[in-house]
């Protein structure tokens, strides 16, 4: 049975304190016709100053949450040398920052000894986990909500461990 999930924007709108996102994959599927990907490959990705060219509903949701006092953090565990997707994602990260997210990066070899969960996820207010399920090629399959305290505790601990070791975006160099 398929679970009907509330949209991300709705979950973020309900947050009162924090929303944290852990990403651990080196490849996420992106449509080859994606305009940002094409622009980035051509060296023409719109910068943050050209807000109308890239700002969207996701950015609105994050900015609204941050304006309410919600802390929005994203940590990315990545392999180096980076895949094309991670290089593209790194180039787009100033957009996340402009919306109010705090983003950090952790090279995978520096995650040695950390107990990381098998899925990417968002953790809302430390108690609701939205797990992301992906295929091996990075295609998003589905999301799943989990309100079990043990899941939220583990997700929070894993995120905090990565966050403590990770490098702020402004200081992280892919080379």
Q: What is the pLDDT of residues 100-137, one digit of tens each?
A: 999 999 999 999 999 999 999 999 999 999 999 999 99
**Residue 143 in 3-state DSSP?**
strand
Residue 75 has a pLDDT of 98
My answer on whether omega of the bond before 81 falls inside 30° of 0, hence cis, is yes
DSSP 166: P
DSSP letters, 80-124, are SSPPHHHHHHHHHHHHHHHHT-EEEEEEGGGGTT----SSEEEEE
pTM across the whole model: 0.95
Q: How confident is the model at residue 12 (pLDDT cuts 50, 70, 90)?
A: very high
Domains of the chain: 8-171 (3.30.870.10)
């Amino acid at each position: 049975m398929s679970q009907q999930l509330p949209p991300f924007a709705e979950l973020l709108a309900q947050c009162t304190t924090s929303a944290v996102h852990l990403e651990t994959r080196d490849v996420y599927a992106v449509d080859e016709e994606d305009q940002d990907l094409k622009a980035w490959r051509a060296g023409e990705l719109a910068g943050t100053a050209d807000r109308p060219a890239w700002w969207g509903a996701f950015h609105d949701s994050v900015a609204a949450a941050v304006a309410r006092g919600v802390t929005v953090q994203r940590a990315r565990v990545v392999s180096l040398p980076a895949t094309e997707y991670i290089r593209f994602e790194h180039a787009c990260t100033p957009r996340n920052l402009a919306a109010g997210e705090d983003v950090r990066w952790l090279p995978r070899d520096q995650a040695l000894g950390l107990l990381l969960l098998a899925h990417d996820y968002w953790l809302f207010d430390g108690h609701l986990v939205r797990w992301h399920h992906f295929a091996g090629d990075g295609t998003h399959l589905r999301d799943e909500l989990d309100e079990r305290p043990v899941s939220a505790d583990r997700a929070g601990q894993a995120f905090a461990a990565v966050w403590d070791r990770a490098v702020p975006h402004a200081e992280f160099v892919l080379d």
